[in-house]
Amino acid sequence: MTVFMRKTAASGEAKVAGERSLLLGIGISAVGIGMYVPFSLVFFHHVTGLSLTVVGLVMTVTGLAGLGFMPLAGTAVDRLGAKRVNLVLYGIRALGFALYPFASSLPAFAAVALVTALADRSFSVVQQSLIGEVARGAARDRLQASTRALQNAGMGAGALLVTGVLALWGTGGFTYTAWGNSLAFALAGLLVARVRAVRVVPTAGAAGTAGAAGAPAAGSAGYRTVLRDRPFLGLTAANFLTALGYSALSVLFPLYLSTWLRAPDSLTGAAFTVNTVLCAGIGVLVAGRVRRSGARRTRSAALGAVLFAAAFVGQIALGTLRPGRTATLIALLVIVVVYTLGELVHSPSGGALSVSAAPEAVRGRYLATYQLSYSLAGALAPSLFTALLAVDGRLPWAVLAVAALGAALALLRLERHLPAEAVHAEPPVVRGAAARPVPVTAAA
């Protein structure tokens, strides 16, 4: 293959052409997201003047419609390329937030919210596809880690920024925030436009290998291709089990603190702060250590799931012992640190694994299917957690621990069925043969 990539003298790792622009764009767009997501209902209530009930109903309906649009976004990626679709979605989001202050009637708000929701829900699919389009090998893992760190840092900065805006201008500042979001998405799009995709030149015999080279052409393949790929569907199912754990901190943790531990609500804010700071501060470092260790992506993702399970078991122990306030605070912070480490280990490896396991010609469809596991877990988590919590405060953590361990086991069992270029960030090396890398085709 011919690639537009270079290696840095310091690390020896391949750098993507336009990587700084890509990451800067992701960081800027994350600031925009952070300016409205934590206050979404109140944000749109003050921007449009509609009641909270109406705003909530419209957001629910448009959010569900956005989920239904994800498969179409995957098809668009395969036909047009991830970069083009990414730029279109940035443009839609920029236009949507520019129009929100003028959408004071219900039909106008519903129309703008629907179009914006379609772009928001599909963006994760397109961004993952873009990483696969611009990077190869270990560069994918590095971009996954950098993206997550920037998203956490950007969203935290956005939340702080809107807090300052509201302190200066009151609720009227939400209008300026909407226009600030529009500007952030437009600027992010301009930066991503500078990124250059990797050009792949098929080699002789490539059609017989697994993965991207052996994939059917995008025009002749549809979602039936994804549904016939049992290893990838297994990978998606394993991710659904892990994705339930990703929802625990935002959905289950606050309820567990207030109803079972009877702890102050302020601990929820402290837990989120610890999680955000660690993700932004050491996310790239942790992912780099995992990557340089040479661990297979399946095994490092499984390790992240095991760390999740350890944190959930810690919550069960804490809920059983119920120590004093100081001991509870210390235990909760330790549990959150273990949970965050699991997130930092799992996320880059799991993301790069899904991107690399998807055949290149139909990567958009594959990743749309994979990202649905996150969306379905997020939609199911509130009702599942509250139902289990009503029985026993420790029960949801037990279910999550079993799910995480099941995901880890599934990842290990899937390892030999997935393409070798997906399992390994770099081609494996044969010992005793002058350390020459073996060309990666498919796992035995």
Looking at residue 248, the DSSP 8-state letter turns out to be: I
Beta partners for residue 7, in sequence order: 14
Quick one: pLDDT at residue 104?
Answer: 85
Is the CB of residue 306 less than 8 Å from the CB of residue 404?
Answer: yes
Nearest-angstrom CA–CA distance, 106 and 76 = 30
CA distances to 4, 256, 260 from 390, in Å: 55, 10, 10
Cα separation of 38 and 55, whole Å?
Answer: 15
Strand partners, 15: 6
CA dihedral 305, 308, 314, 317 (to 10 degrees): -60
Q: At what angle do helices 173-192 and 19-34 cross, to 10 degrees?
A: 160
**Residue found by looking up tokens 């702080």 in the block:** 160
In the prediction, which pLDDT does 220 show?
52
Q: How far apart are CA 358 and CA 278, in angstroms?
A: 30
Q: What is the pLDDT of residue 218?
A: 47
Q: Is 19 exposed, middle or buried (0-12, 13-18, 19+ CB in 10 A)?
A: buried
Query: How deeply is 417 buried, as exposed, middle or buried, from its count of CB atoms within 10 A (0-12, 13-18, 19+)?
Result: middle
Residue numbers of the chain with a pLDDT score lower than 70: 1-15, 38-39, 198-221, 427-444
Phi-psi group of 425: left, alpha or beta (phi > 0 → left; psi -120 to 50 → alpha; rest → beta): alpha
pLDDT of residue 434: 45
Q: Using DSSP, state whether 14 is helix, strand or coil.
A: strand
Predicted local distance difference test score (pLDDT) of residue 155: 85
Q: Tell me how many degrees the CA angle 11-149-112 measures, rounded to the nearest 5.
A: 135
User: Helix or strand or coil: residue 320?
Assistant: helix
Q: For residues 223 and 372, what is the distance between their CA atoms, to the nearest angstrom?
A: 13
Residues 6 or more apart from 117 whose CB is under 8 A from it?
59, 62, 63, 65, 66
| DSSP label at residue 35 | T
How open is the CA angle 46-49-52, to the nearest 5 degrees? 75
Find the largest Cα–Cα distance for the chain: 72
**Exposure class string for 324-347: b at 16+ Cβ within 10 A, else e:** eeeebeebbeebbebbbbbbbbbb
